[in-house]
Amino acid sequence: MTATNLQPCLSFTLTEEGGYQRLSGDPGNWYRGRLIGTNMGISAVTLAAWLRRGVEISDMRDLTVETASAIYRQNYWQEVRGDTLPSGLDLMGFDYGVNAGVGASLSALSDSAVAGVAYQAMNMGRSRLRVLQDRLGVTTDGIYGPITSSALAESQPGQQVARILYVSRLQERRYRSLDGFPQFGAGWLARLARRQARALELFDGVSA
């Protein structure tokens, strides 16, 4: 169980989402034909559903971290079953769910749960495999050969890291498949890189 990781995961996502904005070109900023804005990544429609009433600009502008965190916990953390996920993987599932949708996040987590560790290593991409190899203490050549295979088979922590990196690769593939990738892809991939790095820190026990 990793319930104690909720706060560092929330901190990461709230930082990534930023503060109040009121952009007419963003559908999430609108509520019943009125430009309300978003705050900390919470859309006008989401806030209205949470409050169970219509929302005004002042509601969005004055949204507290406590309310935003409660929304994220119920609508995303609980939906991806964050408390049941290993440390690091919980952030991968939670933040991706916020950014790309709970369904997409659950799909990647489910795929990683049934894929064998060798399959994960062979399909995470060379750059991620080098990260794994570095942690296993073998040559970081980005090639899954017998030495890497043997080291991975003998390392339980390495296998957990492999799953984090494999989920990261699945998330990258999903981003690249989206129609908005030409416009927003650079930002999505940059966030993914930060998510992966922070997930590995959480796996290592770096909570602050």
Contact between 91 and 83 under an 8 Å Cβ cutoff? The reply is no
**Predicted local distance difference test score (pLDDT) of residue 208:** 64
Residue 192 lies in a domain: yes
Domain of 154?
Answer: 86-203
pLDDT digits 0-9 by tens, 125-175 = 999 999 999 999 999 999 999 999 999 999 999 999 999 999 999 999 999
State the average pLDDT over residues 9-36.
94
115 occurs within a structural domain: yes
Q: Which pLDDT score, from 0 to 100, does residue 26 have?
A: 85
Residue length, the chain? 208
Q: What is this structure's pTM?
A: 0.93
Average pLDDT over residues 9-21: 97
Averaged pLDDT for residues 109-121? 98
Per the domain annotation, does 77 fall within a domain? no
In angstroms, the Cα distances linking 6 to 43, 79, 176, 197 are 21, 13, 28, 17
Residue 104 near residue 174, CB atoms below 8 Å = yes
- Decide if 17 is inside a domain: no
What is the separation, in whole angstroms, between the first and last Cα of the chain? 18
Identify the band that residue 2 occupies on the pLDDT scale cut at 50, 70 and 90. Answer: very low
pLDDT grade for 206, boundaries at 50, 70 and 90: confident
Query: What's the pLDDT score for residue 1?
Result: 39
Q: What is the pLDDT of residue 109?
A: 98
Which H or E element spans position 157? helix 156-177
Q: Which two tokens stand for residue 187?
A: 């930002």
Residues 6+ apart with CB under 8 A from 188: 99, 175, 181
Residue 4 domain flag: no
CA 202, CA 131: separation in Å to the nearest integer?
Answer: 15
57, part of any domain: no
* Location of structure tokens 């922590």: 157
Q: How is residue 144 written in tokens? A: 């899954």
Q: How many domains does the chain have?
A: 1
Asked if residue 76 belongs to a domain, the reply is: no
DSSP lists the bridge partners of residue 31 as 34
Dihedral sign of CA atoms 49, 52, 56, 58 in order: negative
Domain membership of residue 45 (yes or no) is no
What is the per-residue pLDDT for 108? Answer: 98
Q: What is the pLDDT of residue 25?
A: 84
C-alpha dihedral sign at 58, 61, 63, 64? negative
